[in-house]
């Protein structure tokens, strides 16, 4: 047996708006918790703009972390020339190399490709 409730349209629209607001609040709380736990980080607009413009993610994250190419290479256990070639686009880097760079930069592999 189907049960039905009839409410005024204005009340229905108010309920829809409240549900959307609740959804926004939940998303905000999740984002805030991810930041507080260190699971996510804020990226300054200057660096985000560079990523959006298509600059090498390896270079952007390296500079965000305050590392030189040599320091990043050492932390990742790869050659500095490899870092330079990836940053300039001369090489893409193997999955293993990108994984090492991601770990050294504390980002996801997806953030670098």
pTM: 0.71
Query: For the chain, which residues make up each domain, given as ranges?
Result: 8-40, 45-112
CATH architecture of structural domain 45-112:
Orthogonal Bundle (1.10)
Q: What percent of the chain has pLDDT over 90?
A: 84
Read out DSSP for 11-77?
Answer: HHHHHHHHHHHHHHHHHHHHHHHHHHHTSS----HHHHHHHHTT--HHHHHHHHTT--HHHHHHHHT
Please give the mean pLDDT across all residues of the chain.
Answer: 93
pLDDT digits (tens, 9 = 90+) for 74-83: 999 999 999 9
**The pLDDT of residue 1 is above 80:** no
pLDDT at 78: 95
Q: How confident is the model at residue 88 (pLDDT cuts 50, 70, 90)?
A: very high
pLDDT at 77: 96
pLDDT digits (tens, 9 = 90+) for 29-68: 999 998 898 888 888 999 999 999 999 999 999 999 999 9
- Assigned token pair, 49: 């703009």
């Amino acid at each position: 047996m189907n049960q039905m409730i009839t409410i005024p349209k204005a009340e229905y629209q108010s309920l829809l708006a409240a549900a959307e607001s609740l959804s926004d609040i939940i998303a905000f709380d999740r984002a805030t918790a991810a930041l507080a736990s260190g699971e996510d980080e804020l990226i300054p607009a200057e660096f985000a703009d560079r990523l959006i413009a298509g600059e090498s993610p390896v270079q952007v994250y390296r500079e965000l972390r305050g590392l030189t190419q040599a320091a990043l290479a050492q932390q990742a256990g790869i050659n500095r020339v490899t870092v330079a070639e990836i940053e300039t686009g001369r090489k893409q880097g193997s999955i293993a190399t990108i994984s090492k760079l991601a770990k050294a930069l504390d980002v996801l592999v997806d953030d670098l490709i």
